[in-house]
A and B are shown apart, each in its own frame.
Chain A
Amino acid sequence: MDIRTTGGPPTAEEIAAVDGLLGDPASLWEGGTRRPEDDHVGFGGAAARSRRPLLLPVLHAIQDRVGWVSRGGLEYACRRLSIPPAEAYGVVSFYGRFALDERPPLVLHVCDDIACKCAGADALCEALEKTAGPAGKTWHRSPCLGLCDRAPAALVERAGAAHDERQVAPLTIDVAQDILRGSDWPQAEVPALPDRPRKLLRRIGVVDPESIDSYREHGGYAALRRAIELGPEGVIRQVTEAKLLGRGGAAFPTGRKWDSVSKAPVRPHYIVCNADESEPGTFKDRELMERDPFAVIEGMTIAAFATGCEKGYLYVRGEYPLARRRIENAIDQARARGFLDCDIEVRRGAGAYICGEETALFNSIEGKRGEPRNKPPFPVQAGLFGKPTLVNNVETLVNVLDIVVEGGAAFAATGTPDSTGTRLFCLSGHVREPGLYEVPMGTTLRALIDLAGGLRDGHSLQAVLLGGAAGSFVTERQLDVPLSFEGTRAIGATLGSGAVIVLDDSADVKQILLRIARFFRDESCGQCVPCRVGTVRQEEVLHRLLSDRNGEARDSDMSLLSDIAQAMRDASICGLGQTAANAIASGLTQLKVING
């Protein structure tokens, strides 16, 4: 295709940003200046089109350097990568973190999602509105930033040649104002994990997350050595015997997935580590990546070895700058030592919850809009670049280490017969000690909340949001539910991503339900009708229902909501639409939020 650009020339900064990543253009055809030979020799076709997966990294480079993506900058990226500008515009406008309008180099993203709401994020935003003007210029409201244990949270971005991005939590109005004035911002404090028996988390706070030697001193790479002794089939047998279920939310048997990929006849095989943890209230993968990154890479290496993968990608959430740096460092060190089975490339998300859906994540790596694909075909048959792909969550991969070392049967001895091992739970909201807790599967919700110090004095429990925005509400009388896949299923709930947001009687549940509705409206990719329009109608009807003082239209609005919910559940392409009504439906039926 011919690329027509009409948006004017890129700035020197934009060119520097793009060329800094891609190197200087080799010819006129790749965005360079015209040389005599360019009149006779062109560059295009499959070779040019194969650069499409570089689109997101290039867009990040521009945004990091300039703070936003101008038309000239985008078109320069298009010429360098042979991408039609209309398609690239579709991609850049899809991701929430890319700015298409000029904005100041320093931007503050303030989380106003559920856990931060419980910690006063709304008051913080109101104060910011008064001092720094309305959201949308120097500061923005953001969905969950995955710092719920230190709420309220924020993320600061400073564009420029010395680009910097940092998490700030807890955020106070004074700190926010200091940041916006450009003074140095404080590093987020790293809380110590509670002193209790830990398995998956045993190295956290103990090991130096930036040193492979420290990791090895603490038992690192014993699992890879054992895996090589066992051989690929032996590893898959152990993982299957361990009855490990995926920890990302869908709880698919990991062994079965690995077996399918290893047997897939088409080559190459890809491995993708899904670190796009965006479920509100979830921060377990961030903690693992920030504080034990080598374990994630070792787990990925074992998985790649067992399933015969030729190339790996780790797709990390754009809002996790520290995790990204630590993971990149871990890969570099492992590569230098020859500890990688296949090379692993880190890809950075750009603000799209939907990219946590595995097929949307593939599209994002491929440089496209993060729209989920219809299944079948499943990733194990045709995933990334249409090839067999193993996708595993961060926590799942870290579990593999113990399985390989101690054996599948020993691993399965912990937990319940159907949900083996331990599980990471992210406690946030109104508990005394929010944080990451590791307990054997089957521990009751009550015991988990007690571990976190219980509720504040003088407050009683209103509800627990289990599994984040895609999860559901659990009430006081269901607190003895065993936290296992089958136990939560029995009461119509889900473990989901391991988010446990505790709400006491001071929480405004109406506002939380509306926040969840807004979340899905904002995060729907817009591809399929049930979700694109359904999430909007759901929010509208919910607004009406919750502000309806005398309950006149209550019954019709309730039935409207359940009609929308059923269509979203039945007819949406992916899990986002299919679960977008869960929390709201459970909140309306379980909690007293409706008047009259």
Chain B
Amino acid sequence: MAERVFVGLPKRLVKVSIDGQEMDVLEGATILDACRQLRIDTPTLCQLETLTPVNVCRVCVVEVEGSRVLVPACSRTVEAGMKIQTDSERVRHSRRLVLELLASSVDMSLCSPQVHGWMRRYGATPERFGENVATVAQPVKIDNDLYVRDYSRCILCYKCVEACGADAQNTFAIGVAGRGFDAHIATEFTAPLPESACVYCGNCIGVCPTGALMFKSEYDMRQAGTWDESQQTVTETVCPYCGVGCMLELHVQDNSIVKVTSPLDHSVTEGHLCVKGRFGFEFVQRRRG
């Protein structure tokens, strides 16, 4: 006889209204899920489908009727009768300020075009805080051959910590240290990575939204001015090392692999790999002669 599988209680539909539009959402869904169902473009920085929401960046905030403060769309679940505004004056103001505060203190130049689009949409002008304002600018950390850490690009979204920790890798090599504006991502006593618990899975790079964590190969090419995404192709394959069946995306430029990723929605990896799949591609490009 087939084994019984508990599929959970049937979920009900919950009625909510978003920007005046009535809709039904599956109970347990977040406001962000509902917004995406309606194709309302909601900015997010610290949110990722594969990670537990930490709701720290506050760029996804929306206005919920009856709530004194704005609520984070990424983590707040829908409740029956919720009336949500995603483009009110208050929402636009907070989203603009969050983007401005971040961009005035962090180098966000390597963020995705989508992020730059949100900056334009909300009219973010980070320069208005004036010159000589505090930033997180600091030298790049290069302490191993596989990846670099440029924390002057870090917006402290906690994603790398989650990927290194209980959400994926369970290695716990990095954490958030310090407090307030001095809060930063660090190993214990900011030891170099080779002295830490790091296993070089590179899953922190996989989730970093700002380019603070980067393949050494990509970093070197960017420094040399040879990094050119328009010249890159992506080849999908399956990792040859073990039997798990992780899907790899090989980013190739000039017939060389320059970076390896895995799709977020892949049922096996959810975007995460191990050190071999992520970095063990040198043998492919060993050329004879």
**A residues touching B (Cβ–Cβ < 8 Å)?**
1-4, 6-7, 71, 74-75, 84-90, 93-96, 100, 352, 369, 374, 376, 521-530, 532-537, 540-541, 544, 556, 560, 563-564, 566-567, 569-573, 578
- Which of A86, A89, A524, A525 has most chain B Cβ within 10 Å? A86
B130 CB–A CB distance under 8 Å: yes
Using C-beta atoms within 8 Å of the partner chain, give the interface range for chain B: 35 or more
> What are 11 sample pairs from A and B whose C-beta atoms fall under 8 A apart?
A6-B195, A74-B188, A74-B189, A526-B178, A527-B56, A529-B58, A530-B97, A567-B97, A571-B70, A572-B58, A578-B69
- Cβ B172 vs Cβ A84 within 8 A: yes
Per the 8 Å Cβ criterion, residues 75-105 of B in contact with A are 75-76, 90, 93-94, 97-98, 101-102, 104-105
B191 CB–A CB distance under 8 Å: yes
How many Å from the CB of B19 to the closest CB on chain A?
Answer: 18
- Cβ B129 vs Cβ A541 within 8 A: yes
Residues of B within 8 A of A96 (CB): 179
Residues of B within 8 A of A87 (CB): 165, 172, 175
- Cβ A537 vs Cβ B101 within 8 A: yes
How many Å from the CB of A460 to the closest CB on chain B?
Answer: 36
What DSSP secondary structure best describes chain A's contact surface?
helix
How many Å from the CB of A361 to the closest CB on chain B?
Answer: 15
How many Å from the CB of A522 to the closest CB on chain B?
Answer: 6
Q: Contacts A85-B188, A526-B181: A90 and B176 contacting too (C-beta < 8 A)? A: yes
Per the 8 Å Cβ criterion, residues 95-132 of B in contact with A are 97-98, 101-102, 104-105, 128-130
Residue from B76, B102, B172, B189 in contact with A7 in the complex, judged by beta carbons closer than 8 Å:
B189
Residues of A within 8 A of B90 (CB): 566, 570
Q: Report Cα–Cα, A212/B137, bound state, in Å.
A: 57
Q: Report Cα–Cα, A282/B158, bound state, in Å.
A: 34
Q: Contacts A96-B179, A524-B181, A536-B134: A86 and B196 contacting too (C-beta < 8 A)? A: yes
- Cβ A86 vs Cβ B134 within 8 A: no
- Cβ B181 vs Cβ A536 within 8 A: yes
Chain A: CB-nearest residue to B63: A570
- Which of A374, A544, A567 has most chain B Cβ within 10 Å? A567
Q: Report Cα–Cα, A556/B105, bound state, in Å.
A: 20
Q: Report Cα–Cα, A93/B182, bound state, in Å.
A: 10
Q: Contacts A2-B197, A571-B70: A528 and B58 contacting too (C-beta < 8 A)? A: yes
Residues of A within 8 A of B171 (CB): 1
Q: Report Cα–Cα, A107/B151, bound state, in Å.
A: 33
- Cβ A544 vs Cβ B57 within 8 A: no
- Cβ B130 vs Cβ A541 within 8 A: yes
- Cβ B98 vs Cβ A521 within 8 A: no
Q: Report Cα–Cα, A560/B171, bound state, in Å.
A: 43
Residue from B94, B133, B170, B191 in contact with A530 in the complex, judged by beta carbons closer than 8 Å:
B94
- Cβ A571 vs Cβ B170 within 8 A: no
Contact with A along B229-253 (1 / 0, CB 8 A): 0000000000000000000000000
Chain B: CB-nearest residue to A90: B175
Q: Report Cα–Cα, A527/B97, bound state, in Å.
A: 16
- Cβ B170 vs Cβ A352 within 8 A: no
- Cβ A532 vs Cβ B180 within 8 A: yes
Residues of B within 8 A of A537 (CB): 101, 104, 129, 133
- Cβ A570 vs Cβ B179 within 8 A: no
Residues of B within 8 A of A100 (CB): 189
How many Å from the CB of A476 to the closest CB on chain B?
Answer: 31
- Cβ B181 vs Cβ A7 within 8 A: no
Q: Report Cα–Cα, A483/B253, bound state, in Å.
A: 71
Residues of B within 8 A of A6 (CB): 191, 195-196
Q: Contacts A85-B188, A537-B101, A573-B56: A1 and B177 contacting too (C-beta < 8 A)? A: no
How many Å from the CB of B259 to the closest CB on chain A?
Answer: 26
Residue from A90, A374, A540 in contact with B55 in the complex, judged by beta carbons closer than 8 Å:
A374
Residues of B within 8 A of A1 (CB): 170-172
Q: Report Cα–Cα, A96/B180, bound state, in Å.
A: 11
Residues of A within 8 A of B178 (CB): 93-94, 526
Residue from A529, A536, A569 in contact with B98 in the complex, judged by beta carbons closer than 8 Å:
A529
Residues of A within 8 A of B16 (CB): none
- Cβ B69 vs Cβ A89 within 8 A: no
- Cβ B175 vs Cβ A530 within 8 A: no
Residues of A within 8 A of B61 (CB): 570-571
- Cβ A566 vs Cβ B129 within 8 A: no
Residues of A within 8 A of B94 (CB): 530, 566-567, 570-571
Per the 8 Å Cβ criterion, residues 160-205 of B in contact with A are 165, 170-183, 186-189, 191, 195-197
Q: Contacts A1-B170, A532-B156, A563-B93: A571 and B129 contacting too (C-beta < 8 A)? A: no
How many Å from the CB of A58 to the closest CB on chain B?
Answer: 15
Chain B: CB-nearest residue to A374: B55
- Cβ B129 vs Cβ A540 within 8 A: yes
Q: Report Cα–Cα, A88/B191, bound state, in Å.
A: 14
B59 CB–A CB distance under 8 Å: yes
Residues of B within 8 A of A530 (CB): 58, 94, 97-98, 101
- Cβ A4 vs Cβ B196 within 8 A: yes
How many Å from the CB of B202 to the closest CB on chain A?
Answer: 17
Residues of A within 8 A of B271 (CB): none
Q: Report Cα–Cα, A269/B102, bound state, in Å.
A: 40
B277 CB–A CB distance under 8 Å: no
B206 CB–A CB distance under 8 Å: no
Q: Report Cα–Cα, A352/B70, bound state, in Å.
A: 25
How many Å from the CB of A577 to the closest CB on chain B?
Answer: 9
Chain B: CB-nearest residue to A539: B134
- Cβ B188 vs Cβ A89 within 8 A: yes
- Cβ A533 vs Cβ B56 within 8 A: no
- Cβ B197 vs Cβ A94 within 8 A: no
Residue from B75, B130, B176 in contact with A374 in the complex, judged by beta carbons closer than 8 Å:
B75
Q: Contacts A74-B188, A84-B175, A541-B129: A532 and B75 contacting too (C-beta < 8 A)? A: no
Residues of B within 8 A of A526 (CB): 156, 176, 178-183
- Cβ B55 vs Cβ A573 within 8 A: yes
Q: Contacts A85-B197, A86-B186, A86-B187: A571 and B181 contacting too (C-beta < 8 A)? A: no
- Cβ A564 vs Cβ B97 within 8 A: yes
Given contacts A352-B179, A528-B56, A578-B69, 18 further A-B contacts (CB under 8 A): A1-B172, A4-B197, A86-B196, A87-B172, A88-B188, A89-B189, A94-B177, A94-B179, A521-B180, A524-B180, A526-B183, A527-B183, A541-B130, A556-B128, A563-B93, A567-B97, A570-B93, A571-B58
Q: Report Cα–Cα, A74/B58, bound state, in Å.
A: 33
B72 CB–A CB distance under 8 Å: yes
Residues of A within 8 A of B156 (CB): 526, 529, 532
Q: What are the 8 closest A-B residue pairs judged by CB atoms, nearest first? A: A526-B183, A84-B172, A567-B97, A90-B175, A85-B188, A533-B101, A571-B94, A89-B188
Residue from A75, A94, A570 in contact with B188 in the complex, judged by beta carbons closer than 8 Å:
A75
Residues of B within 8 A of A352 (CB): 179
Q: Report Cα–Cα, A369/B174, bound state, in Å.
A: 14
Q: Report Cα–Cα, A374/B72, bound state, in Å.
A: 9
Q: Report Cα–Cα, A544/B130, bound state, in Å.
A: 10
Residues of A within 8 A of B173 (CB): 84, 86
Q: Report Cα–Cα, A571/B64, bound state, in Å.
A: 12
Residues of B within 8 A of A2 (CB): 197
- Which of A521, A528, A569 has most chain B Cβ within 10 Å? A528
Chain B: CB-nearest residue to A540: B133
How many Å from the CB of A85 to the closest CB on chain B?
Answer: 4
- Cβ B179 vs Cβ A525 within 8 A: yes
How many Å from the CB of A330 to the closest CB on chain B?
Answer: 32
Q: Report Cα–Cα, A418/B102, bound state, in Å.
A: 42
Q: Report Cα–Cα, A86/B188, bound state, in Å.
A: 4
Residues of B within 8 A of A567 (CB): 93-94, 97-98, 101
